[in-house]
Amino acid sequence: MKQEELVDENLTRGLISMIEIGKREISNNVALKLVEKFEQRAKELNIELKIGYCKAKSLQTGNKVLSAQNNGINITAGSLNCTITDNNIANTNLKNNSNAAENGTSAKIGNGILLDWTGVADPQYITITNNTISSSNGIIAKSGVYSTSNTNHHNKIDSNIITGYKYGVHLYALATCGK
């Protein structure tokens, strides 16, 4: 999507540019507005898309993420006390096609669930449980659950069913649980 497609009375191109280059933090309201716009555009293109956005004390549950263009669910920097449960994430293959073969050699393929530090603040006290993360056709060269940090942040990751990823729960993600 282009910036002009995201602009409205509360979201300017200038603010979008500042967020893109890391000069402005994204507020919960702006994030939710962007999620809504992305999901609406996906619907117009007949793409089933549900973006799990977690910032503070929220619950992401029951989403069906099919053929994600990147990570299935991205838990953003600064997220705190969030629960990610009972989601079905299939095919983070960048192909927008749940029947397409996975390209297991591409570094651009997404993780099922990403705990994303991005140099700001690690997601903390995150519970990731009872999710099904899978590839329907081949092995994805990423992780079912991955973290960009490898220090303990009191996260809990268990009882997830992960198939078709090179790594189930990556060691970095486990390290955020104190393991």
What single letter denotes the amino acid at residue 109?
I
Is the domain of 122 the same as that of 56?
yes
Is the domain of 68 the same as that of 147?
yes
The four Cα atoms 168, 171, 174, 176 give a dihedral, to 10 degrees, of -130
At 106 the pLDDT is 47
Instruction: Please tell me the distance from the alpha carbon of residue 52 to that of residue 111, in angstroms, as a whole number.
Output: 13
Is the domain of 55 the same as that of 42?
no
pLDDT confidence bin for 81, thresholds 50/70/90? confident
Closest by Cα among 49, 56, 14 to 31: 56
Is the domain of 38 the same as that of 84?
no
What single letter denotes the amino acid at residue 85?
T
Domain count of the fold of the chain: 2
Is the domain of 6 the same as that of 94?
no
Q: What is the pTM of this model?
A: 0.64
Closest by Cα among 154, 144, 156, 81 to 114: 144
Is the domain of 29 the same as that of 91?
no
Using the structure block, give the residue that is written with the tokens 């942040």. 153
For the stretch 151-163, pLDDT in tens is 999 999 999 999 9
Is the domain of 25 the same as that of 57?
no
Is the domain of 16 the same as that of 61?
no
- Where is average pLDDT lowest: 10-24, 51-65, 128-142, 145-159? 51-65
Instruction: Please tell me the distance from the alpha carbon of residue 85 to that of residue 130, in angstroms, as a whole number.
Output: 5
Is the domain of 161 the same as that of 77?
yes
What is the pairing mode between strands 165-169 and 161-163? unpaired
Is the domain of 86 the same as that of 147?
yes
At 60 the pLDDT is 62
Average pLDDT, the chain: 79
Q: Is 68 exposed, middle or buried (0-12, 13-18, 19+ CB in 10 A)?
A: buried
Tell me the chain's radius of gyration from C-alpha atoms: 16
Is the domain of 65 the same as that of 112?
yes
Instruction: Write out the residue range of the structural domain in which residue 63 sits.
Output: 49-175
Instruction: Please tell me the distance from the alpha carbon of residue 26 to that of residue 175, in angstroms, as a whole number.
Output: 27
